[in-house]
Structure 1
Amino acid sequence: MSALSAWPGRYTDRHGAQQVVFESDGRALIRTTIRGVRFAGETMDGLGALAGEPPEAMFRFCDGDLCSCLLEWQQPLPVDVAGQGPRAGVLRCALRLGDPLPPPRGGLDGQSLTVALHLDGRTYGGAEEHDDFEAALYGIQHRLPPGARLRACVACAWSDYSPAGHGLMAGLACFRRTKDRYRRVDGKHGPRGIFALWPALTEFVQETHRCGEFEPRGTHGGYRGPFP
């Protein structure tokens, strides 16, 4: 297992609020403990109890995942600034998970994500509600001053999304082990399409993850296009 990062945060529901710590490997694992119960999942909107669902009086669930609550956390997110190198930024996130809808419809009655980047005494973003981290981070990048770029997988030359779509987070495919082939991707279908390369992806990562092979996304846009 990769080293885990600790993100300080808070859990709030109808019973009150509690300070928590979210642990993540930056890829497909997030876990935390709330009111003595261990939760884990691949994304923040997919956290399930590890030992079976506790009594409904303690939490609410939708298809086995936490709902009817507010999850807040902060995590480091460096920003490359021209002439200064990488600067330490802090990403503050809030995910509101609505109430479960009755069958046969199912699902939640709403879900919203707000994200703000705090960098060198200024705040970028935070007011708009987003469906996923891709949209939230695109919005932040557009607000950064000229010459400043997020240093994260969402802005990396070797990452792309499936044409079939993706969820809140962690659905970003990394192609760092097939860089030459990825450079030739020019769309969805055909011998140079993203579908042809998809089985060779290295792994799935969170948009805010980064590794030692990070390179800024340039003019080659792969399937999803440039960033931002």
Structure 2
Amino acid sequence: MKTYQGLYKHNGVIIPIKLCNNGKELSVEIEGRLFVGSEFTDLTYHGDLFDLDSSIFTLTDDGYSALCYCQIELFIPQVLSVENGNNKIVDLCLCTTIGAFDFEKSTITEEAIVLSLSLNEETYIGKGDTIEVAFDQLTMRLPKGETFVNCYGCLYGDYSVYGNSAFGTMLCFKHVKSEYQAVRGKDEYMDLCEDYSDKLEVVQEIHCCESFVMRGCGGAYR
């Protein structure tokens, strides 16, 4: 279980928080109220709805009662590989914006992730509607030779051809390494995902394990 320090922001209210992450599920207690989910847009409330202060919380009106119309800012320790081959621990700032709930469309109006990293008096930023896009931008702006040692930066981390959510739906191919590296083209990749579906894991982009291999320009799909 990892714990990240951060801030919860809603309509001018700013509350310090600690978000817990077990690699599959996120949980955060805000003003004594517990919210749990697999990603930021489904942090659902576990408690009596009549207890909530509407000046602090807005929830989706879809039966799930997930946090919306807010920002969550977290400081996440990550490993950065630098040009001389050494690794160092850095604090990656992740800020996610969750828009208001649109009842007619039964969805939130906005979802955005901004990643920022301060190195040597410079701040590097990446942003997008998914953490993949935000990481893509951020890594392109880092000094030459520097890259993240995490699932996003790993050779065996990839995504479904049918798309991915904003956070935490990366596919890990570490159990079929040779088959994954032998793939050529989208059709072969789709076949691989179907044939070895029982050997694939769903991981968070910010996770890392002992099977990590620097991605470089490799990879079957992304």
What is the TM-score normalised by the length of structure 1? 0.86
Residue by residue, what CA displacement relative to the aligned partner does 1:8-35 show, whole Å, maximum 9, x if unpaired? Answer: 011111372211100112x321111011
Shift of 1:202: 3.5
Give the equivalent residue in structure 2 for 1:30: 26
Q: Kindly tell me: are residues 191 and 167 of structure 1, through their superposed partners in 2, closer, same or farther at Cα, counting changes over 3 Å?
A: closer
After superposing the two structures, state which structure 1 stretch, 88-97 or 114-123, moved more. Answer: 114-123
Against the structure 1 CA distance between its residues 191 and 154, is the aligned structure 2 distance closer, same or farther, given a 3 Å change threshold?
closer
Instruction: Report the aligned-residue RMSD.
Output: 2.1
Asked if structure 1 preserves the Cα contact closer than 8 Å seen for 2:70 and 2:99, the reply is yes
Secondary structure of 2:116 counterpart: strand
Q: Shift of the alpha carbon at 1:96?
A: 1.4
Equivalence for 1:70: 71
1:94-133 aligned at under 5 Å gives the runs 94-103=95-104, 105-125=105-125, 129-133=127-131
**Residue identity opposite 1:87 in structure 2:** K
Task: Give the 5 Å matches for 1:1-228.
Answer: 4-14=1-11, 16-25=13-22, 27-51=23-47, 53=49, 55=51, 57-58=53-54, 59-62=57-60, 63=62, 64=64, 65-103=66-104, 105-125=105-125, 129-190=127-188, 193-224=191-222
Letter in 2 for 1:14: N
2:190 & 2:108 partners in 1: Cα distance? 38
Structure 1 counterpart SS, 2:107: coil
**What SS does structure 1 have at the residue aligned with 2:152?**
helix
Q: Distance in 1 between matches of 2:176 and 2:49?
A: 41
Amino acid at match of 2:81: D
Deviation of 1:109 (Å): 2.2
Q: Aligned with 2:210: secondary structure?
A: coil
- 8 Å contact kept, 1:160–1:172: yes
Give CA-to-partner distance per residue, 1:186-226, whole Å, 9 cap, x none.
Answer: 233248744334513432111111111111014432122xx
- C-alpha distance in structure 1 between counterparts of 2:118 and 2:219, whole Å: 28
Q: 8 Å contact 2:10–2:71 — kept in the other structure?
A: yes
Residues in 1 aligned to 2:203 and 2:51: alpha-carbon distance in whole angstroms:
33
Please state how far the C-alpha of 1:60 moved relative to its aligned partner.
Answer: 1.6
Structure 1: any 5+ residue segments left out of the alignment? Answer: none
Q: Could you tell me whether the CA contact under 8 Å between 1:89 and 1:120 is conserved in 2?
A: no
Q: CA-to-partner distance for each residue in 1:41-78, whole Å, 9 max, x for gaps?
A: 10112100123645464422123210011111110111
- The Cα of 1:95 is off from its aligned counterpart by 1.2
Output the TM-score relative to the length of structure 2: 0.89
**Letter aligned with residue 22 of structure 1:** L
More helix by share: 2
Size of the alignment, in residue pairs?
A: 217
Change (3 A) 1:31 1:172: same
